[in-house]
Copies of this chain bind each other. A is one copy, B any other.
Amino acid sequence: MAYELHYWPTIQGRGEFVRLALEAAGAPYVDVARGAEDAGQGLPALLRCMEDRTQTQPPFAPPFLKDGDVLVGQTALILQYLAPTLKLVARSERARVWTQQIQLTIADMVAEAHDTHHPVGSSLYYEDQRPEALRRAREFCATRLPKYLQWFEEILARNPAGPRHLVGGRLSYADLSLFQMIEGLRYAFPNAAQRALARTPAVVALHDRVAALPRVAAYLRSERRLPFNEQGIFRRYPELDVDPG
């Protein structure tokens, strides 16, 4: 039976990390909120699922995955849940824990990237927190972005199986998420990302290998891949792409 992914229909956002895993594995899934309302899908279906008071394990927020009668929320957990079935994680318990540790660190960086345009709070518009956003973005571009990317470069260099993957010698969901994180950083902070990525060649090479995976490449060319926009996590506000130099 096809997985049901529930996420906001107009943005890549956190749901994109799950979409990428499902697409890279060629797994059957329905992107529920992007379906037709007269087919029982669309945004109302997502909201119905969230507001279903008979649901004993209700997610706090999208994205969440419906797998039969199992409902799983929290992006990194959805990936951890799917990975063994999708063959996007190694078999050993130790490798699985390490993969999830990397995924949770990617999630931390994604949250910090989001907060550059919403440092005061998600319920306010960017336009209502621009001075705060500029200060936060300056800090992010100068300090946090390079620090995270250096860590990913370092763990690739230390991978005993070589720098072609984050964990061992095979593709994992963390590799896919790293690709998406780089895509987002290049969209939101073209200059700051370029400067930082110039010093992390192994990260860039991994990004490029993921982009070239046949299923991923086909997905990126398809209309299923939403473009980045200014409602998602990664937003291009040129004033926030700060040159710390």
Chain A residues engaging chain B, CB cutoff 8 angstroms = 53, 55-60, 70, 72-74, 76-77, 80-81, 94, 97-98, 100-101, 104-105, 108, 111, 115, 119-121, 123-124, 129, 132, 135-136, 139-140, 143-144, 148, 151, 154-155, 158-160
Contacts and interface: CB of A to CB of B under 8 A. Distances in A.
A101 B73 contact: yes
Q: Could you say which of A119, A121, A129 has the most chain B C-beta atoms within 10 Å of its C-beta? A: A121
A93 to B, nearest CB: 9
A101 B139 contact: no
A77 to B, nearest CB: 5
Given A56-B159, A135-B129, A104 B77 contact: yes
B121 A140 contact: yes
A112 to B, nearest CB: 9
A160 to B, nearest CB: 6
Contact of A94 (B70, B136, B158): B70
A120 B58 CA distance: 32
A151 B70 contact: no
A158 B104 CA distance: 28
A144 to B, nearest CB: 7
B136 A135 contact: no
Total identical chains: 2
B104 A154 contact: no
Contact of A58 (B97, B143, B148, B158): B158
B160 A74 contact: no
Given A74-B104, A115-B115, A154 B97 contact: no
Contacts of A72: 97, 101
B74 A105 contact: yes
A139 B123 contact: yes
Nearest to A106: B60
A98 B155 CA distance: 30
Contacts of A155: 56-58
Given A74-B101, A76-B104, A104-B77, A58 B154 contact: yes
A97 B119 CA distance: 30
Given A55-B158, A57-B98, A136 B119 contact: yes
Contacts of A121: 135-136, 139-140, 143-144
A60 B123 contact: no
Contacts of A115: 115, 119
